[in-house]
Amino acid sequence: MTVTDDATQHYFVQQHATPGAAHDPTTAPALFQPLTIRDVTFPNRIQVSPMCMFSAHPVAGIATDFHLVHVGQFALRGVGLTMMEAAAVTPEGRICPNDLGLWSDTQIAPLKRIADFVHHHEGKLGIQLAHAGRKACMYAPFVPDLGRGLVPESDGGWPNAVVAPSAVQWDMTMAMPHELSVDEIQALVTSFAAAAVRCDQAGFDVVEIHGAHGYLIHQFLSPVSNTRTDAYGGPLENRARFLVEIVQAVRAVWPAEKPVFLRLSCTDWVASSSWDIDEVIEVAKLVAPLGVDVLDCSSGGNHPEQKIPVGPLYQVPFAHRVKEAVPSLKVVAVGLITSAQEANEVVEEGKADAVMLAREFLRDGWVYHAAHELGVEVAFIDQYRAGKRRPKM
């Protein structure tokens, strides 16, 4: 028997309902209510948080079959939105040599293959646009004996091409970064916009600007990493200028019908830093009118002396503060949200419009467990219907 290319593209599936969508949204718990942002409707409020997989082609930054399987599984299991990992807008912006990239047109087709698969199963797909700044050029954390060490040129690294807003190392294990000139900053803004165009060509539904976790945009926002005295340093308005210019450039090329997300660290967790939720709210008020639709509220990652009070739902208050202060923005809560009840309460109580989970999705499919726990019947893909359990009464 010969399998035609056309048949392969259709994956032998006829969808009858969107996986993860409640059979009756009008009576479903908050977590399983659909969410529409611009012209994109997500079937529920459960989202996969971006997780670096360090599994792209080590030179070309191209997505591999690993990404197809890793990302594709979430569409099969009813996730409302899958946010793919950070994709670097320049080769020097990678955290590790095996990071995804979006600096070249050659990177579009492998990503489009993934987007096509997700869309065939009625899923929604996003991707982060990122630059690691002073945290670039590191080994992946699971490389034996080298995890998180600086990658030398002899092993494919670029330690002499690491950049930042200021020549301030994250710590002594990382590269001493070159301070970006204004011309170099403007070139990076252009790189973010060019990457957004490639995202659209690949078919993504959402693009997320990565301004968190101590990477380049966060480095500009925080005074612990930004010691500049020009128009990009000093007062918050100046420290936020790089982000504002990126948002303007991305929104100018990203389709008006598609949402733009922004992930921010809502505090440095460092007593000496002014970058905290109050400054985040001021920045949120700046970017919302420029076309940011959703603020994805994380924290930390910009200083080795950070003291993070990790615990269940520890970052949810940040999302709640932003949602109250900037009603025009949708917000996403992240961080040790593990149970269906917790996730549903975050949305039901108006603390966030959606939740993102990461490690829970590395452990299992989660969505169908959550639906069963909350007593809501949701759609399965045809091939997985045999896994349905009787509704919880």
pLDDT number for residue 393: 57
Q: Provide mean pLDDT across the span 223-249.
A: 98
Q: Which member of 11, 139, 215, 384 is catalytic?
A: 215
* pLDDT recorded at residue 3: 44
How much of the chain exceeds pLDDT 90, in percent?
85
Annotated catalytic, 139? Answer: no
Rounded to the nearest 10 degrees, what angle do helices 277-287 and 316-325 cross at? 50
The pLDDT of residue 150 is above 60: yes
The single-letter DSSP state of residue 37 is: E
Q: Which residue has the tokens 């294990």?
A: 173
What domains can be seen in the chain, in order of their start residue? Answer: 30-387 (3.20.20.70)
Distances (CA, A) of 146 to 150, 172, 305: 8, 15, 22
**40-93 residue pLDDT tens:** 999 999 999 999 999 999 889 999 999 999 999 999 999 999 999 999 999 999
Indicate the residue type of 31: L
pTM over 0.95: no
The whole-number pLDDT of residue 387 equals: 75
pLDDT-derived band at 15 (thresholds 50, 70, 90) equals low
Distance in angstroms (rounded) separating the CA atoms of residues 393 and 390: 9
Query: Would the pLDDT of 331 be above 80?
Result: yes
Residue 128: phi, psi to the nearest 5?
A: -90, 140
**pLDDT classification of 392: cutoffs 50, 70, 90:** low
User: Is the confidence at residue 139, as pLDDT, over 50?
Assistant: yes
Transcribe 68-119 into DSSP letters.
HHHHHHHHHTT-SEEEEEEEESSGGG-SSTT-EE-SSGGGHHHHHHHHHHHH
Closest to 127 in 3D by CA, of 135, 118, 140: 118
**Coil vs helix vs strand at 357:** strand
pLDDT of 6 above 70: no
pLDDT value of residue 385: 76
Query: Tokens 């490690």 — which residue?
Result: 359
